[in-house]
């Protein structure tokens, strides 16, 4: 984190507590414990919402390096995983779900669905959904990616069924 520029940088200063030099390297290594320790000690003053000197966010890096645990940490840190992670405003193109689908990152797409990212929601500035990119990976990977969407829909339907059952049960109760 460069305090003067208020953004993440790929070079210096060194983090002497480990073999990694920067936050992006911690994300690449999936070192969530050290990221958590840095946050707890106040070494991530801007949080992990911002972009680095190339316009890439920690969420983008977590997808790029296939690190679902880092996505869990980012959500815990309050990062919105539904916004563009590769630029700001008109420069932003895609969300983490786009990059996971586009590059066939099944584990990351599954983590995003588990963290509440809607798989049918637009994930690019052109309004495309993640499913529109599944077939580019061949049938085996496309099938795994579709399973993530199916799992998410099943969970939502089951949750709605539970809510309906509870509401029906409450309606049947009489107040004395």
Q: What is the pLDDT along the chain (176 residues), one digit of tens a residue?
A: 566 666 666 554 444 444 455 788 889 999 999 898 888 888 876 678 777 777 788 999 999 999 999 999 999 988 899 888 887 666 678 899 999 988 889 899 999 999 999 888 888 888 888 888 887 777 777 788 788 877 754 544 455 666 677 777 777 665 55
Sequence-separated contacts (24+) of 161-169 with Cβ below 8 Å: none
Ramachandran category for residue 95: left, alpha or beta (phi over 0 → left; psi -120 to 50 → alpha): beta
Confidence at residue 17, expressed as pLDDT on a 0 to 100 scale: 43
Contact 123, 97 (CB under 8 A): yes
d(CA 49, CA 77): 9
Q: Which two tokens stand for residue 124?
A: 């690019």
- The 3-state DSSP class for residue 164 equals helix
Q: Is the pTM of this model over 0.85?
A: no
């Amino acid at each position: 984190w460069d305090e003067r520029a208020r953004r993440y940088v790929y070079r210096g200063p060194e983090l002497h507590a480990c073999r990694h030099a920067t936050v992006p390297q911690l994300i690449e290594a999936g070192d969530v414990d050290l990221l958590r320790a840095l946050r707890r000690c106040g070494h991530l003053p801007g949080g992990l919402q911002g972009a680095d000197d190339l316009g890439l966010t920690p969420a983008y890096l977590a997808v790029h390096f296939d690190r679902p645990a880092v996505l869990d940490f980012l959500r815990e840190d309050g990062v919105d995983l539904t916004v563009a992670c590769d630029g700001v405003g008109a420069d932003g193109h895609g969300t983490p779900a786009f990059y996971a689908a586009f590059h066939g990152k099944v584990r990351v797409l599954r983590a995003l669905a588990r963290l509440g990212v809607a798989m049918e929601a637009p994930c690019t500035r052109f309004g495309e959904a993640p499913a529109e990119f599944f077939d580019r990976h061949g049938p085996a990977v496309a099938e795994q990616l579709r399973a993530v969407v199916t799992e998410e829909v099943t969970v939502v339907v089951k949750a709605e069924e539970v809510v309906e059952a509870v509401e029906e049960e409450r309606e049947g109760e009489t107040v004395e």
